[in-house]
Chain A
């Protein structure tokens, strides 16, 4: 592993919340010097003039579909999509086939990650055996095998006693939870958010209370048990109020959003059809405003993707039969720039923190998410002024199910560096 010198960039110091103009030297996968005017004739030089250089982005919510649904995505194509999107680390959700509910499968993911050798793939393990919400999995053995988070994502545990026991039991192993909130009895066969659009189109609805009521339950359980609980892909205005209330009460609770829940509303099902169908469903403008306010205030401290690739045929035909979810890993950063930086909700440093520093902390990765001498050289370089049009057919992800095709976006990652190695340069994967 050689040396890498990143010159003339603006460094994003996530730990202190400031930027500074300096050069950065990487040796053997570690940041070894941060100073102005560095020279090293033996190092490969990247000229980052006009660019932001920060810790590699860490994504808390992706679906790489392996094992079992490799026609939608696999760990190789998913890793490539992550690299293109500026992510040096991702957290995979366990709703594969079979689900990641045994130590064996968690170890398999670890082995495949090393074999592929692109981004760091961390795995969440299922909370319940088979993701069916009946019995807990072996949290301790799963953690030993490498699981960092517990989640039944894609499903929501309906049995309150099971979740109560799981939250209590997991404290012993200090494993955090990542919860997809949906009361399945209320959501039923729902396809879209409640509201005028659902009425006009004649679709069954997933009302906001399907999310809010379960979230309220789980906030109570989190507070009572002292467990660390993270709520993923918030979509409603009231969920932000609930979260803020319990944070004030001292519960160890946090949340993320997706870029699409900030940029699209339920009206998007008209132009985009099933590409605008996901769980939770796209909501209204008032929800978007509340989510952004929650992000601005720091109630919502994380930004993720919920990258949910599907095969073309999964999204064709009957809207009601189409699968839920969109593919967005390669454009998550410019989408967030549009959603949050352009309107002044967050500045670049704050945006970066929520995509690296906080996720690293959540995953228990003290060597990542920070730009500092001695830390891992997982780095992303973003050119804030690059404007490109989204071309979904050029996605390296197998999932082309994305409503943002043709959108003009700015602020694209132009380098992704993992462990001191360049894996993406000028928006192209390194050969």
Chain B
């Protein structure tokens, strides 16, 4: 039994292997529980959650809101267009105002790496990082790991290829860290302009070309390509991206079965992955969404019920 010692969830990097397994175990139970109806609980009744999103998000915010409500929490959504928030003191004032609202937990997404850590240093809430810049997105990694676990994957025997915009991806960082902790091999591929120098620090190996990376993997994890990356000149066109870096046909693993296809969503059909594969038999893209809900329930419950100490 794990003695939970974190007040916040700032990143996968902060978690031990046992803590990750503990959250996945709980998430697994919640995933089963989600098949029931009615499924409201009173586990966290009377607790308040603020969703503080400085970046546009529908899926993650809704997922947290749903997770909190399923646990009986009250949820306040606080979306702030980053352009309307000035830098420096006014950001601090904004969050200090929030601090007086006496909520229990704060889910935060921000375009700047390190904001959740910064907030955790003075806000009297449990802080849950829902994505900070290019650094971490821990609940995404946990939901991905839960999806793999429920597919019967043995983490110690598994190779995952993460393909696409590694450079800007907090998902790739969090997932790589999580997978390495659980003993999996992680290989990364994509356009060289989108693979950062020094990425090996995550314990991952860069493999070119993309076909070779996919060939070696049991799970192919495709990252979303933001249209603005093309405009910024990291690759020349969507047509070329789809041709050389996208997944176009089903691949077999070395055991001969279809490889798992995963994607954090939302998918650009025909760009990162051929449209037909999105709903194909080996696509776990939709299951990831449901696992996301389950994992966020597990995180909220664990932090609020057990996360008393600092750290």
Contact surface of A with B, Cβ cutoff 8 Å: 129, 135-141, 161-162, 165, 168-169, 171-172
Indicate if the CB atoms of A138 and B237 lie closer than 8 Å: yes
Binds A, one of B239-247, B261-269, B288-296: B239-247
Within 8 A of A (CB), among B52-87: none
Main secondary structure of the interface of A (DSSP, over half): helix
CA distance A230 to B222 in the complex (A): 35
Contacts of A138 in B (CB 8 A): 236-237, 239-240
Chain B contributes a number of interface residues (CB within 8 A of A) equal to 14
Indicate if the CB atoms of A169 and B243 lie closer than 8 Å: no
Among candidates B236, B243, B244, residue contacting A136 with C-beta atoms closer than 8 Å: B236
Among candidates A139, A161, A168, A171, residue contacting B236 with C-beta atoms closer than 8 Å: A139
Is B203 located at the chain interface by the 8 A CB criterion? no
CA distance A162 to B232 in the complex (A): 9
Given contacts A165-B193, A165-B233, A168-B192, contact A141 B243 (CB under 8 A): yes
CB of B143, distance to nearest CB on chain A (Å): 31
Indicate if the CB atoms of B240 and A172 lie closer than 8 Å: no
Is B33 located at the chain interface by the 8 A CB criterion? no
Contact surface of B with A, Cβ cutoff 8 Å: 191-193, 208-209, 233-237, 239-240, 243-244
Contacts of B208 in A (CB 8 A): 172
Indicate if the CB atoms of B233 and A136 lie closer than 8 Å: yes
Indicate if the CB atoms of A172 and B239 lie closer than 8 Å: no
Indicate if the CB atoms of A172 and B243 lie closer than 8 Å: no
Report the nearest A residue to B208, measured CB to CB: A172
Contacts of B239 in A (CB 8 A): 138, 141
Contacts of B244 in A (CB 8 A): 140, 172
Contacts of B233 in A (CB 8 A): 135-136, 161-162, 165
CA distance A157 to B244 in the complex (A): 25
Among candidates B193, B209, B236, residue contacting A137 with C-beta atoms closer than 8 Å: B236
Indicate if the CB atoms of B192 and A172 lie closer than 8 Å: yes
Given contacts A141-B243, A165-B193, contact A172 B209 (CB under 8 A): yes
CB of A128, distance to nearest CB on chain B (Å): 10
Given contacts A165-B234, A172-B208, contact A140 B193 (CB under 8 A): no
Indicate if the CB atoms of A172 and B236 lie closer than 8 Å: no
| Cross-chain pairs A/B with CB under 8 angstroms, 12 sampled | A129-B236, A136-B233, A136-B235, A138-B239, A138-B240, A140-B243, A168-B192, A168-B193, A169-B192, A169-B234, A169-B235, A169-B236
CB of A171, distance to nearest CB on chain B (Å): 5
Contacts of A135 in B (CB 8 A): 233, 236
Indicate if the CB atoms of B192 and A140 lie closer than 8 Å: no
Indicate if the CB atoms of A171 and B192 lie closer than 8 Å: yes
Contacts of B237 in A (CB 8 A): 138
CA distance A141 to B234 in the complex (A): 16
CA distance A241 to B240 in the complex (A): 38
CA distance A140 to B243 in the complex (A): 9
Contacts of B191 in A (CB 8 A): 169, 172
